[in-house]
Amino acid sequence: MKLIGTVVLTVIGLLFWHHLAGPWFGIMIVPLLTTLLVFPKWKWAFTASFFAGIVSWGYFILPTKDTALVAKMAELIQLPNAETLVFGTLFLAGILAGSSALFGWSIRKAFEKKKRAFRPYS
C-alpha cells in the first residue's frame, strides 16, 4: 500500500507542481515530502519516486519526442538523437526523484522512535 501511495501521491504532487509552471526543483521537493509523509521502506521510496518522476515528466515530454526542436537540442547537447535526449531526461527525472526520496527517507528515519520489542505480560 505504501508503495502505491508513494507513487500516486508523488505523481499527483508533481503534476500539480508542473501545472503551476513551478520551478524545476519540484522533482526534488515533491518526492521528498511524499516520502516524509508516507514513509515507505527505502527501496520502495526510491523505486516509487523513480517511476513517479518518469511518469510525471513523461506526460509532458514524450509528446514532443519527434519535433524538430528536440532534434536540434539533442544535437546541441551532442547527444546522438532526440530519443536519447527525451529518454535521458526521463531517466534523470527518475534519478532526481529517487535520490530526493532517499533523502526524505533518511530524515524521517533519523527522527523515528525506536520500536519497543513486544513483551507479553508474563
Partner 1 sequence: MKVLRIILFGGVFFVFFVLLERGWEPVPPLGSLLAPRVGLWEQANDLELDNEKITTVEGLLDGVTITYDSLEIPRIYATNEADMFFAQGYLHAQHRLWQMDFQARAAGGQLAEILGEALLEYDRTARRKGMRVAANHALQNELKHPDAQLALLQYTKGVNAFIETLRPKDYPLEFKLLRYKPTPWTPEKSMLLLMQMVATLSTTEYDIENTDFLLTHGEAAFTIFFPDIPSLAHPIVSKPGKWPAPMAKADSITDLWPKGFDAISRNNPFTEDVPGSNNWVLGPTRTADNSIVLCNDPHLGLQLPSLWFVNQLSQNKHRVMGASIPGLPGVVLGYNDSIAWGVTNSQRDVVDWYELLFKDDARNEYLVDYTWKKSKKELEEIRVAGMSSVFDTVVYTEFGPVVYDAHFGGNHPKTGLAYRWIGHDTDSELAAFLALNTAKNAKEITSALSKMTSVAQNFVYATTGGDYGICLSGKYPLRHHGEGRFVRDGQHSANNWNAFVPFEGHPKQQNPQRGFVASANQHHADATYPYYQYATPYQTYRNKRINEVLDARDDWTPQQLQDFQSDNFNTLASLWLPLAIAHLPDSTLSASSQAFLQVLKDWDLENTASSTAAIYFEAFWKGFYPQCIAHWFDGVTSARYPQSLTIIQLVDTAATHTLWDNPKTPEVETVTSHLHNALQVAVDQVDSLQAAGVTEWYQYKNTTLRHLARIPQFSVPQVAIGGNANIVNANTPTHGASWRFMAVVDSSGITGTGIYPGGQNGNLGSRHYTDYVEDWKNGLLLPLPLLPETTAKRRHLLKPTAL
Q: Rounded distance, CA 48 to CA 70, Å?
A: 28
Residues lying near partner 1 in the complex (CB under 8 A): 18-19, 21-28, 32, 56-57, 59-61, 63-64, 67-70, 72-73, 75-77, 89, 92, 96, 99-100, 102-103, 105-107, 109-110
Among the listed residues 54, 78, 82, the one whose alpha carbon sits nearest the alpha carbon of residue 69: 82
| First-residue to last-residue Cα distance in the chain | 35
Residue 7 vs 27, nearer CB to partner 1: 27
* Minimum gap (Å) between residue 55 Cβ and partner 1: 11
- Considering the complex, what minimum distance in angstroms separates the CB of residue 122 from partner 1? 33
The nearer residue to partner 1, 4 or 88, going by C-beta atoms, is 88
